[in-house]
């Protein structure tokens, strides 16, 4: 059986009804991150989160299935570029995603653009196989449904 080549980039553009400073903080404040990150049915226990958002800093946490706490996916990222309220760039390693081999050196780029009091977020991540692009997109979109009410509060 031949492994599919990971050569696909995930790109999501989404408008949030909140200023970019609030959206940026939701990605960089551990207490906020745990309230929304992970698709519906998954959570991030606060004790697993370690964030140091600066060039050379890191992000570490574990996403856990609400139904089966033994199903966990640790994520570790290294930040290569950070501009407060504007940009987060880094590389990620993760494991435990069903149907996917462990990742090494996947990139992540999150841009926060001011849209007149709202925020246009542009997220790029990869490389993925074509199948994983669909699954990762669904995961991010599901996470964003949890982020919307947090930003509204």
**HSE (side-chain half, CA atoms, 13 Å) at 60:** 5
What is the number of structural domains in the chain?
A: 1
Q: Answer whether residue 62 is part of any domain.
A: yes
Could you read off the pLDDT of 60-112 as tens digits, one per residue? 999 999 999 999 999 999 999 999 999 999 999 865 444 445 545 689 999 99
Question: Which has the higher per-residue pLDDT, 153 or 16?
Answer: 16
Q: Answer whether residue 3 is part of any domain.
A: no
Q: Which range of residues forms the domain containing residue 95?
A: 8-152
Residue tagged 């669909």 (tokens): 134
What is the pTM assigned to this prediction? Answer: 0.88
The CATH number assigned to the domain holding 117 equals 3.30.530.20
Contact 129, 8 (CB under 8 A): yes
Q: Answer whether residue 1 is part of any domain.
A: no
Could you read off the pLDDT of 7-38 as tens digits, one per residue? 789 999 999 999 999 999 999 999 999 999 99
């Amino acid at each position: 059986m031949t492994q599919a080549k990971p050569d696909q980039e995930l790109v999501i553009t989404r408008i949030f009804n909140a200023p970019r400073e609030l959206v940026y903080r939701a990605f960089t404040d551990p207490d906020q991150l745990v309230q929304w990150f992970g698709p519906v049915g998954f959570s991030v226990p606060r004790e697993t989160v370690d964030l140091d958002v600066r060039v050379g800093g890191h992000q570490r946490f574990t996403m856990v299935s609400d139904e089966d706490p033994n199903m966990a996916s640790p994520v570790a990222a290294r930040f290569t570029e950070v501009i407060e309220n504007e940009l987060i760039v880094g590389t990620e390693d993760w494991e435990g995603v069903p149907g996917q081999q462990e990742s090494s050196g996947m990139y992540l780029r999150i841009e926060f653009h001011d849209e007149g009091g709202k925020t246009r977020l542009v997220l790029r991540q990869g490389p993925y196989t074509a199948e994983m692009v669909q699954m990762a997109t669904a995961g991010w979109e599901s996470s964003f449904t949890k982020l919307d009410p947090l930003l509204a509060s």
